[in-house]
Structure 1
Amino acid sequence: MKGVQFYFNDSEHQISNRISAMPRLDASIVKNLLVVLQPNPYADFLKQAPELNDIDQYCIVVRSDPGLDQRTYNKPLSNEVAGIWIEDESEENANADMLDIRVFTKSDILTQEQQEFTGPSIDTDIDMNEDSPLNHNQRRKRWTLSCREYYLYKLQDGVNDKSYILRFGRLFQQYRVDNYIKIESMPLQFLKTNQKNTRREYYQGVQDSVISGVISRGKVGKGVYLPATFIGGPRDMRHRYLDLMALVQEYGRPDIFLTMTCNPNWLEIKERLQPGKEAYNRPDLLARVFKAKLNILNEKIMSGEIFGEVASVVHVIEFQKRGLPHTHFLIILKPTFKYLSPEAYDQIVCAELPYQRTNPYLYSLVVKHMMYGPCGDLNPENVYIKEGKCKNHYPKWFCEHTTHGKGSYPVYQRQDNHRTTKVRGHTLDNRWVIPYNPTLLVQFDCHINVKICCDIRAVKYLYKYVHKGHDKIMFRIAPENSNSEVDEIADFQNARWVSLVEAAWRIYGFALHSMFPAVLQLQVHLPKFQTVQFEEDADLEQLLQDERQKRTMLTDFFNMNAMDHEASELNMLYKEFPQYYVWHTQFSAWPRRKRGIVIGRMCAVNPIENERYYLRVLLSNVRCPKSYDDLLIVNGVLSNSFQKASYK
């Protein structure tokens, strides 16, 4: 099968599957063997061997790269069904026709008539009854139905729901993950097949093509790329990180780092489960309830009810190999509400067991959600043990008072007051308490970790951490060829790990990121080197005569400074312009902003780009320039390059 390779990971039923295949096996022995083999990398590779037809021609290739980011290339910590989606970027597979279903005769001979099935057409249960979503779309005068909308409709559980899909346990989980893989594959396939239709080229490059007599438009433009509009892609993650750095530049370092994890025992989830079913059987419930709780938390933070008035709030949803979704919040408070002393830290963060007699409910929540581990000497087999030590540095030290730490976070008060509790068979004290906010813990009844960011050194780590991207997993079975050259890149296959709740979350169309205020990326280009977009069969001469193609964010910024008295009076830098004006893409113009807060960010430019890099330097320092020449004039003298003007 060419194109996307897809695997399911289901570890819960391994024992029963083996016993059913060989009844003479002892279940207890099989269970012990699975425990022994779990951390063994050879066992992981051998699990894939039955999928190979010519197994004798294959060997196991084992590679270890400690340089990989273990935040994404970590092993699963939960027992769940997940999809492993191999992203094959080879040109052969990119251009190959995807055949999702092949039809064989009883004699295992492939029929001559091969059919291609894509999207919802694979499923045989599509109906057109009066409640079908397509009919609803017709009422709204829309005759199309997206793949996501169809699966969203099929996976809803109504009051009088008669659908059996939601009752099939693990099979339903695989069905849901498979559906999401189909949904995300479609835009990727569209981008691959439409690279030749839409080209991007510098305006000057188009002009040069016309002058040199180029007739074939297919020779003009750039190659294949994955745009930043594809959510979760590398360009998207980098753009979001740079946007957050623009917020830090405007408002300062983050003050609070908050993490909230979904609680499968929330009452809203338990009430909707069928008798005898566990929460993991209904990832749709986990996603919907967690989204509702997330909205409430975001409203409380934005209103200033919990921490005070905020200048900026960013949150990111993650679906790691831990079975439950969680969110990271990075909060920047307004100057008058910042927490600047250890006494202020104690007002919102606690890292101790509460007194059980006076506050029994809070005590129960801390024991249930906010006790770490145990690990270290108490549990050397803990997954967070690295080189014999806990990578999160638990247990902490006793501390009589909160103090500023040497690192990026304070050392919280953890008194040796002999308060203990028994967790997972071990007696733990205040050294094992994860920092929390009592008010939020009581309101949300889940793991909700709150940390104070007291050092600027935490900024880049935190913002890169929350935008590290999707989880992946490493495995490879390679054909045996002793004469083949060593290719360290080909020795690994980057496999996207798609969890149950992530599939549900994305099918429901819930956002993965949120940022306040918004950040607008500003173009930086040399004269006549702006990027233009055009169809493959476009008339290039007519394209050059289009005034809108000549106007860009930057050139119209110059025009506004020269022609608009109000813009000239404001005397702004280029990055400050979006705070007062709105970029209108359709008309390529800057009308005055009437509402909302937007921060401008000039796109990143590498110093090796020479003149364009120095142009960006000048735009960062010269106020109210009216043209490119204005940037070149320093002390009344016109320089012949942006580099010389920058030096002056």
Structure 2
Amino acid sequence: YSFDDPPIEDDAEIDQNGNVDTPYENQNTGYKDVGDPVWQCRHCKAMMWYDERINKDKQTKNPKFALCCGDGKIQLPVLQDAPQPLRQLLFDTNDSQAKNFQQNIRSYDVMFAFTSPILQLDTRYNTGRGPLTFRLHGQGHHLIGSLLLLANKSPKFALLYIYDIDNEVNDKLSQNPKSKPRRFRNVSMGDFAKIFNRSSSFIVRSSSFFDLHSNMLNNNNHYAQKFRMASDKLQSSIVSNLKLKLIYDRQSDGRLYNLPNTAEVAALIVGDEHTREDGYRPDIPHKDHPNIHAAKRKKVIMREYFCYGLQSRNNEAQTILHAMILFQQWIVDDYCMIESQKLNYVRQHQQQLRVDKYINLNACNNAPETLGNEKGKRVILPSSFVGSQRYMEQLYFDGMTICGHIGFPYLFLTLTCNLAWPEIQRKIFKMKLNQLMNDLKHGHLFGPILGFIYTIEWQKRGLPHAHILIFLQPANKYPNPEDIDKIISTEIPNKYTDPKLYEIVSKHMIHGPCGLPNRSTPCMVDGKCIRFFHKKFNKAIIVDQDGFPVYRRTNNGRTDQKHGIELDNRFVIPYSPQLLLKYRTHLNVEWCN
């Protein structure tokens, strides 16, 4: 690794003291705020953070960005404003009807959807203190169902746009709000019932909402218009047989292969005149740029398409970004489609990936496959596929190689996302982590280092956190307990002489209360705290016979109250005062044996 100071580009602004003008204050002490996304991409006009620039090792006043449009390679149509009344329902924060819509937006979405979502949701962690999380297991499906109304069956989803549904809607809206509506009977979303139970006003106000949204869709959605046209034809006596086609890619005239045998054909041509509202299609070309002829890929891939749509721009609508939990569902749905596309590529390019060597090496060890117990063609995921077994094993071997070359790490840090960060309304955890790694590499907080390893994980309640191993140079390995005491503290700060640090420690670095006062905490297993709190008072730091540090925890009378229980230094999680003041979140620092 190279820990030299980052170079400064020629167009960077430098003040009289030789400092580069950057969006945040570069100080060794005090909170490090990444600011707001005030930097506009010169190509697509997306509002970005300075730390999202392409070359993060250079300071410049004209940064380039690839996260939004690939630095000009991608150009998509601008999203238009949502029609009324949807616009008011999404953006009005005062109207009670709009608040009801925002709180139950996913239920309303399914009510007007053309397809039935089949999702295996995990809502176990939505009962805790963390933010509401959309957690999905397995593969998601969207079923369009039959367009033929079966006997003794109610129309659902796309059928509602063809058949007369007045009586059906009234029947649904008159159901007991404490019971699960029949409309979602075939939708495997367990949280729908919880949403309905939480707000009975949803049922009361849905009748007027349905009329407003039906008119809005009929006037603005060309899919709904085609289905309504089919409905009008079916209800008339002119046409007895009608064909409705969904044409995904009109590269040739379908009449050459399937001659129409009915008097009327309603065709839904996806992407005939492409707009962002139609969604992704595989033949969107890259924008002309100087290197386009030498580029291996000249089409927009699915990941690039959705990355473009995730950005905020002043010149286009913010409909998707203001959809709240429906926005989360949209992101998860997009990721599933991207991963499915990658898996399909791996499946179709097994020969190019040379998976035969994996199969031959494992043939003698794979008894079920040899005996024919596992039928079908086996697909090998290479180490280049993120999340595969070979990907994880390769990272593990890389980490062990670093340990074998440099030695064992000496510091173990855990950085956790903080919901109280001033900038948390935006996607800033990775930028915070990059800042921390930059401080560790260049700021010499713990002295010069030889290397580092980190991994980003997701808590069960939905927040990300990073585990970091630091390899110090031999001269800075803190061989004496007194040296460890200089960088790691396990005591509550003085409330009067250091109020800011006291506030941060009491909010983020106090464990519990657990044990006898509170046996219901997640850390309690079989009546004991799995984190071994509370600790013992200790006048000085020592290293036990197993090489683990026993930090200094004096009985100095300083306490913090949580849930009516007084907690002292025995409940403090080890931390670095300097890092805690700068990042103001749960940031655990441990000395490794």
What is the TM-score when the length of structure 2 is the normalising length?
0.52
| Cα shift at 1:298 | 0.6
Matching of residue 352 in structure 1 with residue 491 in structure 2: yes
Matching of residue 105 in structure 1 with residue 255 in structure 2: no
1:314 counterpart SS class: strand
| CA offset digits 1:577-607 (Å, max 9, x no partner) | xxxxxxxxxxxxxxxxxxxxxxxxxxxxxxx
1:234 to 362, 373, 389: 389
Partners of 2:141 and 2:566 lie apart in 1 by: 57
Partners of 1:380 and 1:135 lie apart in 2 by: 59
Q: What letter matches 2:409 in structure 1?
A: P
| Cα shift at 1:406 | 4.4
| Cα shift at 1:145 | 0.7
Sequence identity (%): 36
The equivalent of 2:288 in structure 1 is: 138
| Cα shift at 1:106 | 5.3
| Cα shift at 1:104 | 2.8
Q: How is 1:402-481 mapped onto 2 (pairs within 5 angstroms)?
A: 402-407=541-546, 409-454=548-593
Partners of 1:376 and 1:160 lie apart in 2 by: 55
1:305 to 439, 444, 454: 444
Partners of 2:536 and 2:272 lie apart in 1 by: 58
| Cα shift at 1:268 | 2.2
Partners of 1:319 and 1:155 lie apart in 2 by: 21
Contact 1:99–1:116 (8 Å) recurs in 2:
no
| Cα shift at 1:113 | 6.4
Partners of 1:356 and 1:123 lie apart in 2 by: 65
2:287 counterpart SS class: helix
2:136 to 84, 91, 97: 84
- Cα 1:380/1:113, change in 2 over 3 Å: same
Q: What letter matches 1:337 in structure 2?
A: N
- Cα 1:122/1:440, change in 2 over 3 Å: farther
- Cα 1:162/1:332, change in 2 over 3 Å: same
Aligned length: 342
Matching of residue 246 in structure 1 with residue 401 in structure 2: yes
Q: What letter matches 1:174 in structure 2?
A: Q
The equivalent of 2:323 in structure 1 is: 168
Q: What letter matches 1:126 in structure 2?
A: R
Contact 1:103–1:114 (8 Å) recurs in 2:
no
| CA offset digits 1:105-138 (Å, max 9, x no partner) | 1515999968789xx9899952699xxx967633
Partners of 2:430 and 2:350 lie apart in 1 by: 35
Partners of 1:299 and 1:150 lie apart in 2 by: 31
The equivalent of 2:174 in structure 1 is: none
1:190 counterpart SS class: helix
Q: How is 1:116-515 mapped onto 2 (pairs within 5 angstroms)?
A: 126=276, 137-139=287-289, 141=292, 143-196=298-351, 198-200=353-355, 224-269=379-424, 279=425, 285=426, 288-407=427-546, 409-454=548-593
Partners of 2:510 and 2:312 lie apart in 1 by: 35
2:428 counterpart SS class: helix
- Cα 1:178/1:360, change in 2 over 3 Å: same
- Cα 1:165/1:128, change in 2 over 3 Å: closer
What is the TM-score when the length of structure 1 is the normalising length?
0.48
Contact 1:102–1:115 (8 Å) recurs in 2:
no
Q: What letter matches 1:137 in structure 2?
A: K
- Cα 1:99/1:410, change in 2 over 3 Å: closer
Q: Which of structures 1 and 2 has the larger relative contact order (alpha carbons within 8 angstroms, sep 6+)?
A: 1
Q: What letter matches 2:309 in structure 1?
A: K
1:401 counterpart SS class: coil
Partners of 1:247 and 1:123 lie apart in 2 by: 53
1:166 counterpart SS class: helix
| CA offset digits 1:176-212 (Å, max 9, x no partner) | 1111111122111221233256545569x9xxxxxxx
Partners of 1:335 and 1:178 lie apart in 2 by: 48
The worse-fitting range, judged by mean Cα deviation, of 168-177 and 151-160 is 151-160
Partners of 2:273 and 2:389 lie apart in 1 by: 32
Contact 1:342–1:404 (8 Å) recurs in 2:
yes
Q: What letter matches 2:400 in structure 1?
A: M
Consecutive unaligned residues in structure 2, runs of 5 or more: 1-99, 108-116, 160-242, 250-269, 361-376
- Cα 1:228/1:415, change in 2 over 3 Å: same
| Cα shift at 1:146 | 1.4
1:139 counterpart SS class: coil
- Cα 1:321/1:229, change in 2 over 3 Å: same
Q: What letter matches 1:138 in structure 2?
A: D
Q: What letter matches 1:83 in structure 2?
A: R
